[in-house]
Structure 1
Amino acid sequence: PLFSPQRSLEEGPPTARSRPRTLAWRVLMTLLLLGPLLGSSVLLVYVFQSCGPYSCDTPACLDLLTQYLASGNTSMAPCSDFFSFACGKAKRTSNSSQALAEENKSRLRRILEAPSSWPPGSGEEKAFQFYKSCMDTNAIEAAGAGPLRQVIEELGGWRISGNWTSLDFNRTLGLLMSQYGHFPFFRAYLRPHPTLLHTPVIQIDQPEFAVPLKQEQEQKVYAQIVREYLTYLNQLGTLLGGDPDKVLEHASLSISITSRLSQFLRRPQEERQAQTATIAQLQEMAPAIDWLSCLQAIFMPMPLSPSQQLVIHDLEYLREMSQLVGGLQLRHREFLQSHMILGLVNSLSPALDSKFQKARQVLGQKLRELTGRPPVPPHPRWMECVEETGSFFEPTLTALFVQEAFDLHTRKAAMELFLNIKDALINRLGRLSWMKEKARKEAQDQVTRLQVKMGAPEWALEPELATQGYPEVQLGPSFMQSFLSCVRALRARTVQSFQQSSPNHSWHVAPWGVNAYYSKSDHVVVFPAGLLQPPFFHPGYPRAVNFGAAGTIMARELQHIFYQLLLPGGCPACDSQALQGALLCLERHYAALSLPGETFFNHSHRILENAADMGALTIALQAYNKRLLLQRGETTLPSLGLSPQQLFFRSYAQVMCGEPRLQDPQDPHSPPQLRTHGPISNTQAFARHYHCPRETLMNPSSRCQLW
């Protein structure tokens, strides 16, 4: 029996036969007591495993995983070279932003090439027809230079072809700028007034030369650039049927004019100060140009008068340009005409046949080699046609792109991410040791008042505005005629939009673009829909990815609000000694990480951009950590073997992937490797989550406390 009657003590010790029963009894009681405990332990382990991060196996996550595996190099130690760990296999491709921009253009291409039928005369129909005409290279090749010769005849011809009618110089100049979009001696455009918000004003600025000829360049390089440019202009004249001797003479004089004008451009853009003047006052200072008639032609139907206010960005250039043009009108009018025609041919090259485009492509490659800029692979025809269609029919393509790539669910998720970043920044401002109380409150108030534009302008959601019919656009019969009709229509729409002044911010980028920006004048930050796409953002991604990629981009744009504070004397209400100490620490931190053979530029722009990168990672990480506390159920990518926190840093580095040698020397940002290692090595959390030993590159002994 399981249970036997108790014996009295007098009965003595149990017999040998009773001992196994006692042992069995003890084992049974032990199991009964420990069973619930063991069962609850197994249950707790199961619960904790279920509540921990689980793999995201959605198609969006699997596509992202494929990209990460293709770009990463796990043989590299993340604590010594995290850039190579994340981007080691992607260094021979374009950087991440360029890759995303190309993907967005591919999406537009699929939209424009999809079989569809649109109402006759609608915006969609004209956009699709223009794209189709642009892609019809057989028709463009068959037309050859004929449409361009017709344009030149409308301008009075030129001496190169032997058929030249000497028209009034200012009439020709007005036609070039208003009807053909070519500005050979200066640029004139409408922009908001520098001090009066949402008040449009005509602005006069330096021209943009196809080949800026700066004599301060090394003499050998300058001579080679001149030779390549001369070869190119000779090709243009020959393709248009000009006599080779006349072409050479006129091309040489055109280069001489360009060189003289380039010499007048003495001040870089950031050092020029805008000033106001009336048309009448500008006429006195630069009399060779009939300013009233030319500006009236450009900005028709705006009523202009001699008392019209202008904003002038380089008055000294305009004075010297006027003297040069005035002398040429008296002595070499035919060369002045040829100079304008050659510049027009270059600007119309997108609408010309392959011989003209090939000549321009070869010139561009030669100039990049001579100036030390990275080579740019030639764009396929479809990409050029997408870009031209997008510039002329932006409202229509915006509506189609947003409808497909940025629905309300995506916009809501992006806005929620931004609000998390914004709150983290406000909280972070309260912890900065170099900010005194007054400066802190002003900074927090600036962030609170900031407006955000997410995805696309408001009108993109209004079909009747987005699908306007473009009645002023007349397509055909040649692509050149369609192109010029679109140039004129775009100018007219631009003038009309400025006449209908609105308190709303006017976007500076197309919604399918990838460049976010902060507008100081409107105190608004803009994140286009094209930026908030995979691999930077997706509502179904692990939160670590969205905060690490798109979140740091958002935080970085918010840093632009405070650029002025970091400049000398820019923050009187700050602890200047503490601030300068933090900036000096940042400068030394990046100098210690500089790549072999790289010169660390101690330039204000470079320092500001480095500070923005460092602050962006700090703020995005703080926002992500707060979100983890408030909302459980985090996910991660399968097969990478990364925790959510590790995935956060991996996603940040993915945004920076790129080949340093492809970086433009004019780019104020540090090379991609420094943009990755600088902020990450300054973040103690990275060393903790990646278990980096002390004194490794990503876990230095000291860090900076700027943001």
Structure 2
Amino acid sequence: MSETPVELELSVQPSAQPESERGLRPPPLFQLPLPTQDPSNIYQQTQLQPELQLSQNQAKPVWINHRRLFLLFLGFCAAIPLLICYMHHILQNRSNNQKDKVTPCLSPACQWASARLSMSADPFTQPCDYFLFTCGSGRLSPDSGGRQRGQGIPGHPQNQREKAVWPERRGQSKEKDDRGRREEKILDRKTVLLQYLTEILEANDRPGSTAVQKAKGFYYSCLDTKSIETAGAEPFLTLIKKLGGWAVSGQWNQTDFNSTLSLLMRDYATFPFFNLYVGKDPNETARGTIKRYIQIDQPDLLIPIEWNRKTLKSQAKTQTLRPFLASCQTYLALLGALPSSSMFHVGNFMSLSSELAVAAAPLDYRLSKGQLYQRMTIKELQSQAPAIDWLGCLQAAFHQLPLIEDDHVLLHNLPYIVQMSRIIGKWLNKHELNTSGPIHTYMVLNLLHTLIPALDSRFSETEKNLSVALGYTEGVAPRWKHCVLETERGFDSVLTHLLSERTAHRDAEEIIQNIISSFKSKLHELKWTDQKYLQFVMKKVQSLIPRLWTTKQILSEAELDLLFSKVTVGNGTHSFFSNYVQLLSLWQKRLRQLLTEQTEEADILSVTPFILGDELLFPMGMFIPPLFHPTYPRAMNYGAIGFLIAKDILHLILPDIYSQSETVHAVGECVWAHYLNVTEKAGRGGAFSLSAAQQQEVWVQYSALQIALQAYHQSLKNHPSDTSISGLSHTGLFLTSFSQVNCDSDPYHEFMPLESSFLITVICAKSDLCPTSLQCPSKTQQHSLQTC
């Protein structure tokens, strides 16, 4: 049941008058002439009426007639203020009626949103079933088989396995419905963004530039699993031959170790013995320096290891080595290795992996030992770890950049780098192993690990089986999600361009500014335990410049075409493998750009605001359907993305607010009292109290809802007109839109002890904002609760 606004009208009574003479009938005391009557005739009738009365009765003295006229004049004067008051009342009613009226939004986006709302439970007609699902750490997982919010509610998308998607563009395939991308039970903003990027990639609305076509071609080649399965292991075997073969197949050219390593780093973004990435020195960042450095870290080892806190060394356990051994044997079998020689090569691979693993250490240990961000020149590094040709390898990885021996790099585990060099030197000097090439085999198997996403399902299944055997039960991402993520890795600038084209920059910036303004006013409402801390927070807030986060210069289609001019995207049987290899090259090219560029590139996959210097940046990925659309009613935008923005800001700027304001405790307990009252747990055993973290999260989300609502009302003052959906009034649509956010999957969701939408009942408890009293039909409120 939706709230339908009713225009208040003065009642019109039926009369014997002709239709053209009917009008509004005010109270008899202020009966005005009908619009069809001539005012002069009415005046004459009014003036003649006393004379008619006199002719019918005896003649009155003159002073009596004058007294009557004087009294009539006084009555007329007295009536003028009342008449003015009445007219003001009529105009005010008309103004209010106009405000209550809602103009339906008929854009394609609104039509889709209306259909989406109709498939969801109405929070105002089923408050108990809708609101009493728990979002906190004890909540049921979507796959647990337990009760989820909405289960058992007729028409709820979780029952109908909602298939609604964004309005389909011309020629768009129905295949995405079959992939079930809209079946997420709990809102994950990153998944929503990936869905939207997928819609962009699958759109057939215009040809687009060649760079856009290449990005879409890569995406579709990733989805073509039939061709990938048909290709099998052949593409990787061909690549091995290109690298000089390997001893496993019996054909190896005994290529130079450092030459092969340089090639893997430059063309295939593969780093078997150490990791490379680009970043700033935090010691310099504190001083405002923005220079970036090459960072060298320990690698992501393939062998499963554990940290022994007694010996302070990494080690591999027998129970984990067995499944790892089995997976290595499977990989070699898939690549055509003979069973007779397979075990020998696997044994050498595991032995070398184990030696390298012993030198690795977890991040917290390295941090405690001060091993992070150790600065040295490439020449100094060469003397510390001579087995690696550091200048040659780094020049290959960052080719076209003029690196020299005196350039500085940052080390994150120098003891590992030194030990790794010794281990490689030892294995290279074992003459009896020269023909078996264990170091080369180690590099090839690391390359295989890099390219598994581009190979047939037998390889990914082997990888998955190892993860399950090691106790990792994370599900495999659906193919569409995997493909859009891989596309973003290589074509991020293309997707940034496409997303920017579809982002309503002005509307997004307007809602950001209004939420920030409302947030600032909320700060003054808090009861602070320390006024100095309030001054500190206000100074911090005032110094931040909020803006939509985009790259300083989004590339045009012509610039994108030039950037990707050397990329060739094929669509044959081996196309995805070839396309994926080019993606790795593009990934490495991006790494080179990071080293030279001084500006911070926008992360297209970012969905939450963050602070960078004196700027509070909001990613474009936040302002997408179904959370936001420029043609939506503003009530819908503020109820969804406005709430999320406010919540993110509160978490970002007031992370420890609980210890600084007594308001947080009071509001948290008040909201929890409402919840216990509705669930009939008040005064009963088993009702637990909230922890400090839970009280803070309840306050954050309740305050975020208030901030977003205040910002929307301010928006209405500035721009009184707003459209609506499903006939809902402005505030009704705002709250309904908020209820669609569900349990937002953010780092703090485990601390939210109740469904966020329950906050609507608290907002509505003592106000006239809501269309109906939100009470459970089957439960009676034990007592009236205060406004929180």
TM-score > 0.5, shorter chain as reference: yes
Aligned position for 1:371: 472
1:489 to partner: Cα distance: 3.7
Aligned position for 1:648: 734
Aligned position for 1:176: 264
TM alignment of 1:475-490, pairs within 5 A: 478-479=574-575, 480-490=577-587
Say if 2:716 is the partner of 1:668.
no
Contact 1:64 1:534 in 2 (8 A): no
1:420 to partner: Cα distance: 0.5
Aligned AA (2:632): Y
Residues 312-358 of structure 1: CA distance to partner in whole angstroms, max 9, x if unpaired? 33445445545554554455773343333222112112322344345
Aligned position for 1:680: 759
Aligned AA (1:52): D
Residues 450-475 of structure 1: CA distance to partner in whole angstroms, max 9, x if unpaired? 34452642422644434434244355
Contact 1:544 1:624 in 2 (8 A): yes
Aligned position for 2:331: 236
Say if 2:168 is the partner of 1:77.
no
Aligned position for 1:214: 306
Residues 356-405 of structure 1: CA distance to partner in whole angstroms, max 9, x if unpaired? 345445556x369x3354x345314xx544443332223233323433x2
Contact 1:547 1:648 in 2 (8 A): yes
Aligned position for 1:265: 361
Aligned position for 1:620: 708
Stretch deviating more after TM superposition (142-151 or 70-79): 70-79
Secondary structure of the corresponding residue to residue 307 of structure 1: coil
Contact 1:421 1:555 in 2 (8 A): yes
Stretch deviating more after TM superposition (259-268 or 425-434): 259-268
Contact 1:361 1:378 in 2 (8 A): no
Stretch deviating more after TM superposition (457-466 or 672-681): 672-681
TM alignment of 1:194-343, pairs within 5 A: 194=282, 195-196=284-285, 197-209=289-301, 212-214=304-306, 226-251=321-346, 254=349, 264-268=360-364, 274-278=372-376, 279-319=378-418, 321-322=420-421, 324-330=423-429, 334-343=437-446
Aligned position for 1:100: 192
Say if 2:626 is the partner of 1:535.
yes
Secondary structure of the corresponding residue to residue 277 of structure 1: strand
1:646 to partner: Cα distance: 4.5
CA distance in 1, matches of 2:243, 2:428: 16
Aligned position for 1:573: none
Stretch deviating more after TM superposition (579-588 or 143-152): 579-588
Change (3 A) 1:588 1:42: closer
1:418 to partner: Cα distance: 0.5
Aligned position for 1:146: 234
Contact 1:190 1:203 in 2 (8 A): yes
Q: Which runs of 5+ in 1 are unaligned?
A: 11-33, 567-575
Say if 2:616 is the partner of 1:517.
no
Change (3 A) 1:79 1:257: same
Q: Which runs of 5+ in 2 are unaligned?
A: 1-44, 61-81, 135-147, 162-182, 310-315
Contact 2:211 2:494 in 1 (8 A): yes
Q: 1:54 aligns with which of 62, 84, 102?
A: 102
Contact 1:178 1:297 in 2 (8 A): yes
Secondary structure of the corresponding residue to residue 77 of structure 1: helix
1:284 to partner: Cα distance: 4.9
More helix by share: 1
Change (3 A) 1:129 1:323: same
Residues 227-283 of structure 1: CA distance to partner in whole angstroms, max 9, x if unpaired? 544443333211211123433454455456556656633235995763232134444
CA distance in 2, matches of 1:211, 1:65: 52
Aligned AA (1:51): K
1:416 to partner: Cα distance: 0.5
1:547 to partner: Cα distance: 1.5
Aligned position for 1:66: 115
TM-score (norm 1): 0.74
Say if 2:456 is the partner of 1:353.
yes
1:188 to partner: Cα distance: 0.8
CA distance in 2, matches of 1:186, 1:337: 15
Aligned position for 1:388: 486
CA distance in 1, matches of 2:398, 2:373: 21
Aligned AA (1:468): L
Aligned AA (2:403): L
Aligned AA (1:543): R
Change (3 A) 1:230 1:696: farther
Secondary structure of the corresponding residue to residue 338 of structure 1: helix
Stretch deviating more after TM superposition (344-353 or 684-693): 684-693
Change (3 A) 1:557 1:638: same
Residues 562-614 of structure 1: CA distance to partner in whole angstroms, max 9, x if unpaired? 35665xxxxxxxxx9645895799699899989999x999898x998777645
CA distance in 2, matches of 1:177, 1:115: 37
Residues 386-440 of structure 1: CA distance to partner in whole angstroms, max 9, x if unpaired? 443332223233323433x22xxx2111110001111222333334433755544
CA distance in 1, matches of 2:755, 2:321: 40
Figure out how many residues of one structure are paired with residues of the other and give that number.
Answer: 640
1:310 to partner: Cα distance: 1.9
Contact 1:411 1:455 in 2 (8 A): no
Secondary structure of the corresponding residue to residue 607 of structure 2: coil
Change (3 A) 1:80 1:462: closer
Residues 473-532 of structure 1: CA distance to partner in whole angstroms, max 9, x if unpaired? 355685333432342244234414532x33x4321x22xx3613314456441322x331
CA distance in 2, matches of 1:165, 1:127: 37
Aligned position for 1:21: none
TM alignment of 1:145-164, pairs within 5 A: 145-164=233-252
Change (3 A) 1:562 1:107: same
Contact 2:454 2:580 in 1 (8 A): yes
Aligned position for 2:211: 123
Contact 2:668 2:696 in 1 (8 A): no
TM alignment of 1:487-502, pairs within 5 A: 487-496=584-593, 498-499=595-596, 501-502=597-598
1:636 to partner: Cα distance: 4.1
Let me know the Cα RMSD of the aligned residues: 4.9
Aligned position for 2:509: 415
CA distance in 1, matches of 2:379, 2:699: 46
Change (3 A) 1:357 1:696: farther
Percent of residue pairs bearing the same amino acid type: 26
1:50 to partner: Cα distance: 2.9
Aligned AA (1:203): Q
TM alignment of 1:421-440, pairs within 5 A: 421-434=515-528, 436-440=530-534
Change (3 A) 1:179 1:448: same
Secondary structure of the corresponding residue to residue 652 of structure 1: helix
Contact 1:424 1:619 in 2 (8 A): yes
Secondary structure of the corresponding residue to residue 343 of structure 1: helix
Secondary structure of the corresponding residue to residue 538 of structure 1: coil
Aligned position for 2:721: 633
CA distance in 1, matches of 2:241, 2:607: 41
Change (3 A) 1:515 1:328: farther
CA distance in 1, matches of 2:348, 2:323: 15
CA distance in 2, matches of 1:536, 1:656: 12
Say if 2:659 is the partner of 1:558.
no
TM-score (norm 2): 0.68
Contact 1:657 1:672 in 2 (8 A): no
1:301 to partner: Cα distance: 2.3
1:442 to partner: Cα distance: 4.2
Change (3 A) 1:242 1:697: farther
1:681 to partner: Cα distance: 8.0
